[in-house]
Structure formats: C-alpha cells, structure tokens
Amino acid sequence: NQLQMEMKRIKFTAIIACALVCLLAACGNDDVTNEVSQHTLKVVSANTSFDALGGTDSIYVNVDAAKAYAMAPWAKAETKGKLVTVTADVNKDMQSRHTTVVIKSADGDSTIVAIDQQGPVSQIDLPEQIVMGDKADTLTYKVKSTFDISIKSLDSWLTTTYEKGEVTIITTENNEGHVRMGQFVVETTVGKDTISVTQIDLDRDVLGEYYLQLTETDENRKPVKNAYAVKLYKENKKLMLAFTTNPFAFPVTFSAKQGSLSIAGGQYAGMLDNDYVATAVGPQDGQVSVSPEVTISGQFFYSAGLAAKVSSLEGTVLHFGTAPAFVLGRFSSKVFENKTYKGYLVYGNDAYLFKRKK
C-alpha cells in the first residue's frame, strides 16, 4: 500500500509538471503570435523626394492602407488599396523642407515614411556689370531657375529676352561719341537684380584729354584738390598717359573686357634735371610701391549730369578709388627702389580722370 501511494504521488507530480510545461509552452506561442501581428504593414516602394515645383508621387505597401495623412500642411496623402499617393505643394521658400506621412492598416498597424522637398533654384550667371564694345552685339547667358523669370530693359538701345533657359542681351551701335551706359532688371521669386551694361571703345570713347584730379596735402598739411591736365594717347602700340604742361608721360593699361584703366608702379615717366621720374602706386598711404606688379585701377563711366553741370567736361569719368595713392617720384638712377628714391613731384589719393571736351 505504501508503495502504491508513492507511485500515485509520482504520477500525480508528473502529471502536474507536464501540465505546467504545456501551459508555459502555450504562453510562449501566444507571445510569438502577438509579436508578428504588430509588424504586418510594410513599405514595398516609395518615391518621396520632390523638387520645388511639388507634384504627386507614390508609396506602395504590402497590405491595403485604411488611412494615411501628412504631418505638415504643405503635403497631402490619399489611399487606394495598397497605393498611397502623396501630393506636395509648390515650395516658394528659399529652404528645403521635410515632413512625414503616417500610413495605417485596417488592423491598426502603422508605418512612417519621410518626405523631402527641395527649395527653389535660381542660378543666373550674370555679372553685375557687363562691358561691351561700341558695335552692335549680342551676348547670351545661361540661366537655371525653378520658376520663370522676368527681364526688362530700361534703355531703348538695349534689348533683353529670356527664353529656354537663356538670357539674351542685344545692343545697337553706340554712335553717341562717348561711353554709353544702360540697365536691365531681372526678377525671380527669390528677388530682383539690376544689371548695368556699358558700351565702350578705346579709340572712339577713351582717347583724349583729361583732368587728373588728386587730393593732396598743402603746406599746412590740410587736404586740397589739385587738377592736372593730362592726355591719353597711343604711341608705338602703347597707351600713354602724359602731363600736358610738363614732359612726363608713362604707359598705362586699358582693359576692353572690364572697361578699365590701370596704372602700375615703376613706370618710367621722364627726366627732371639729372633725376629719373617714375610712378609709384599703392592701395593706400604707407603701402606705395614701385613694383610693376602693384597697380591701381578704375572703370570708366558716363555722367550726363556732370556734363550738363560743367561745360568744359565731356562726361566720361574714371575713379581709381578713395584710398589708393598715386605718386610721381624722383630717383637717382634707372633702378627704382628705396635706395634711389629722392622725393616726389606729385603725391595724392582719391584720383579721378575727367574727360575734357574737344
């Protein structure tokens, strides 16, 4: 009897143990089933990057989507079976923008998809100043813009158009006898720019007689403006700037591309007694150099107001800048350096060239 009782206890214990194992196994199977059910909605493919113009693109999921919505007001989402369409508005802001679309299935599962939209592109490869010759001419510049641009000429002799990603500039021949200047306006969603156009020709508009105005220092160390009569002329294929009241003349450089004139340091200008006279220039006082690598320069422009105000002036002007210095120095030899420098004949800043009437 005692043996039978022990056997019953063993069987009962074994039965209880088996029941517990089965119960645990059942619980484990329930956990696995729940885990799988939380990830039934998956994205199969998605095109969710938009340019600034916006538009509609698609997201495909593996089961029917019951609902979809965007987290930003500039994007909208709609569902049709496994297809989710996303529509982005036009982006007129300078910056790109980002949001997400939430997609939900009928059983409550959900997934999130990132949405990106670029900002508008406006790349106009136009310089602020365009310099052309006096002859009638046409120039074309490439333009890359998300939105259309408007372009308008402010002068009758200047025609501007925009078509198929190109800005075209057309000028008539300049027969006015002086530098001619005009403008046109380019406007995009990003903003507005005014571009200047200059027509200039060395022989027709630049050569001639000028006043060189300099701000110098008098005997009381006070600034005073002095004007020197000078002349721009060609000599043996060189462009020369000469003082008309003394024998000093030195070579200068004209840039047709920039419509500018440059004066370099170390340019021989003539003799005074037994001294050699040469140029020295610099970006400001204390940085004046006789090196030919150092230059001061300015662009020619035309002022109708100046021509109307001062009867002796034609209206063509060039400014070398307020701070740059111009010097005519005396040297004891042809080697222009500090050791041979003896003093200056002319020393001034804020140099202007004012063209005189013929």
Q: Which residue has the tokens 């998809």?
A: 113
pLDDT at 349: 97
* Residue 10, pLDDT above cutoff 70: no
* Residue 133, pLDDT above cutoff 70: yes
CA-CA-CA-CA dihedral for 28, 31, 35, 36, to nearest 10 = 60
**Rounded Cα–Cα distance for residues 298 and 59 (Å):** 60
pLDDT digits (tens, 9 = 90+) for 168-182: 999 999 999 999 999
Q: Are 155 and 182 in contact (CB under 8 A)?
A: yes
pLDDT at 125: 75
* Residue 126, pLDDT above cutoff 50: yes
Mean pLDDT of 264-289: 96
pLDDT at 29: 44
The band of 5, judged by pLDDT with boundaries at 50, 70 and 90, is very low
CA–CA distances in Å: residue 208 to residues 121, 241, 317, 322, 345:
47, 10, 12, 24, 24
pLDDT digits (tens, 9 = 90+) for 18-41: 343 333 344 444 443 333 345 689
CA–CA distances in Å: residue 344 to residues 276, 280, 327:
11, 10, 7
Structure-model confidence comparison of residues 73 and 147, the more confident one: 73
Query: Which of 108-112, 188-192, 227-231, 340-344 is the least confident region?
Result: 188-192
Query: Which of 50-54, 235-239, 248-252, 335-339 is the least confident region?
Result: 50-54
Mean pLDDT of 308-331: 97
Computed over every residue of the chain, the mean pLDDT equals 88
